Amino acid sequence: MDRIADAFARTRAEKRAAFVAYLCAGDPDFDTSLAACRAVIEAGVDVLELGVPFSDPLADGLTNQLAAQRALESGMTIARVLELVRRVRESSQVPIVFYTYYNLVFANGVDAAVHAAKDAGVDGMLVLDLPPEESADFAAACRARGMKSVFIVAPTTPEARLAKICGAATGFIYYVSREGVTGERGEVAGGIGEAVARIKTHTSLPVVVGFGISNRDQVRAVAASQTDGVVVGSALVNVIKTNLATRAAIAAQMKTKAADLVAGVRGAA
């Protein structure tokens, strides 16, 4: 079973981009996080990207840093993140991709980490700080366990490295549309269509675009740039942040927000 390939095959058949939703696993606590995951799935997201909470993130802006801090303070561990995935899998076959850092993969053995994630129901792993030149052990573990790998291309990535990055990925390519860290922005970055076209000269894998995409109009604009998927994270995580005092309301608010964003890839006005 290749849930990632199947999801992108479906959205291609529907002549639209996939919607990828990012949430931090365990934010602000296990039960609320599970409800939030189920809410975005019910809203129609095509891929769920789960951030594995980490104390020293590099690519995360303040919104996602605080989400990871809340998750860690609530007692989230790798074991609890895997349990969260298992609970999501009880009711959904949506592709799940881990957004994580290499310390968390390396700490207890690369093969063991990949095996545990795959066994829980994870389909792909994006290891933010692992360059393809250093990924041999991770790639071998992914091949052995049937785990898809995701790698990042940035606006500053030179042409000479594109082929290497694209060659290392087996799930999809994540194009970071702007320099810096994650976070909501007032407008989308320029040159996305050209960047996606350039990446696609090196791979037949789907190319998704993220960082700084915050509302339905921005989702629609990025989806029109020949990308295969649009990633939104901080705008969803902020739903949790603004409802911390009334956590029981988070799932409903999350579903409403996610449905509005999903409409951007589905052609709704």
Specify whether the backbone of 44 is left (phi greater than 0), alpha (psi in -120 to 50) or beta. Answer: left
> CA–CA separation, 235 vs 260, rounded Å?
11
> CA–CA separation, 53 vs 135, rounded Å?
21
Q: Tell me whether residue 184 is one of the annotated catalytic residues.
A: no
Hunting for tokens 């890839």 — which residue is that? 265
Give the torsion through C-alpha atoms of 154, 129, 89, 166, to 10 deg.
Answer: 50
> CA–CA separation, 3 vs 248, rounded Å?
31
Distance of CA 167 to the CA centre of its chain: 20
The catalytic residue among 60, 123, 133, 179 is 60
Q: Tell me whether residue 49 is one of the annotated catalytic residues.
A: yes
In the structure encoding, which two tokens stand for residue 44, read together?
Answer: 């129609």
List the Cα angle 120/171/131 in 5-degree steps.
Answer: 95
Q: For residue 230, which phi and psi values (nearest 5 degrees)?
A: -125, 130
Instruction: Name the packing angle between helices 62-73 and 234-242 (round to 10°).
Output: 50
The catalytic residue among 27, 29, 46, 49 is 49
3-state SS of 34-58 is HHHHHHHHHCCCCEEEEECCCCCCC
List the Cα angle 258/262/268 in 5-degree steps.
Answer: 130
3-state secondary structure at position 183: coil
Catalytic machinery residues: 49, 60
